[in-house]
Structure 1
Amino acid sequence: MTPERFQDLIASLTASLEGQPLDDALAERLNREHPAGSPVFEAIFEACRQAVAAGWMCSRENDGIRWGRVIKHGAATHGFSVDVVDMQNLAGPHHVHPQGEIDMVMPIQADGTPGGAARFDGQGAGWKVYGPGSAHRPTVSGGRALVLYLLPQGAIEFSRAASA
């Protein structure tokens, strides 16, 4: 998996997201059309696993979170930037989504608790959407997960708040 091939793969998804309101209806649509186990979801998940293994994705680390912006927003991805994080049982830094955020949650390891499977802000494998102006402290519980963030125009604002 190369950065160019990854961008092409993401562009096929973001083409269907361009101009769509970032809301619960979009999350429902993504979970219906591209649920965990579907060809699109699994192709992106496998591409992320390969890119992490190759060392060009999630190449930075801070406070136990491996992360990185892998695609800047632009025409090729219909205005979305792409960040990917690798987190295990921890909360990340509080931030605001000025234009919203689309999250693809890819659990990669359960922590061994009964029925355990990694979750991102309560969402298991699948999609979570935050609307414009929303904020949170991204949290992975129940194990380890990769989370792909699509940010309209790359917009994100980190804050010093301790909680959402």
Structure 2
Amino acid sequence: MLPAEFRQQIAELTAQLAGRPLDAGLDAWLNREHGPGSATYDLLRTSCRIGVAEGWLCDREGGGLRYGRIFKPAPDLHDFSVDVVDMKDVAGPHHAHPNGEIDLIMPIDAEARFDGRPAGWLICPPGSAHRPTVSSGRALVLYLLPQGRIDFTK
């Protein structure tokens, strides 16, 4: 697995997301069409696990979590940035999503939850904010940020 292959997988998904509002409707659609048990979910989960194991994902560490922005926003990614975070029973830094955030939750430990949600997708609408929290074990979380926008609280 190479980062270029992972980028192509993401580009195929973001082509379906481009221009859609980040809202409850998109949350339901992603979980229905690309949720746990789907080919998309299985492929992205496997790719993320390989990327972490090979060291090209989550290549930074701090505050009890591993993280990293693998891709900046670009036309082939439909102007989404791509980050992956490896978290275990920890709350990350508080931040806001000026343009929203699309999260893919991939538990390593079966009972792990991200902001209280199990495996699958979570949409944070534009203007929302949170302190991302993984509880009950370890999970990988893939973040798609429109235009790469994220505002960390000081």
TM-score by length of structure 2 reads 0.98
Q: Please give the alpha-carbon distance, in whole angstroms, between the structure 2 residues aligned to 1:95 and 1:39.
A: 31
Aligned-partner residue type, residue 154 of structure 1: G
Aligned-partner residue type, residue 54 of structure 2: A
Q: Name the SS of the counterpart of 1:129 in structure 2.
A: strand
Q: Please give the alpha-carbon distance, in whole angstroms, between the structure 2 residues aligned to 1:27 and 1:122.
A: 15
Between the aligned residues of both structures, percent identity stands at 59
| Aligned-pair Cα RMSD in Å | 0.6
Runs of 4+ in 1 over 4 A off after TM superposition: none
Aligned residues: 154
| Larger Cα-atom Rg | 1
Q: Please give the alpha-carbon distance, in whole angstroms, between the structure 2 residues aligned to 1:144 and 1:88.
A: 4
Per-residue CA deviation, residues 79-101 of structure 1 (Å, 9 max, x unaligned), is 10000000000100000000000
Q: How does 1:65-84 map to 2 (within 5 A)?
A: 65-84=65-84
Aligned-partner residue type, residue 81 of structure 2: S
2:147 aligned with 1:153: yes
C-alpha displacement of 1:33:
0.4
Q: Please give the alpha-carbon distance, in whole angstroms, between the structure 2 residues aligned to 1:91 and 1:52.
A: 20
C-alpha displacement of 1:109:
1.5
Q: Name the SS of the counterpart of 2:35 in structure 1.
A: coil
Structure with a larger share of its residues in helix: 2
Please, which runs of 5 or more residues in structure 2 have no aligned partner? none
Please, which runs of 5 or more residues in structure 1 have no aligned partner? 111-116
2:134 aligned with 1:140: yes
Task: Give the match for residue 24 of structure 1.
Answer: 24
Q: Please give the alpha-carbon distance, in whole angstroms, between the structure 2 residues aligned to 1:153 and 1:138.
A: 20
Task: Give the match for residue 95 of structure 1.
Answer: 95
C-alpha displacement of 1:55:
0.4
2:14 aligned with 1:14: yes
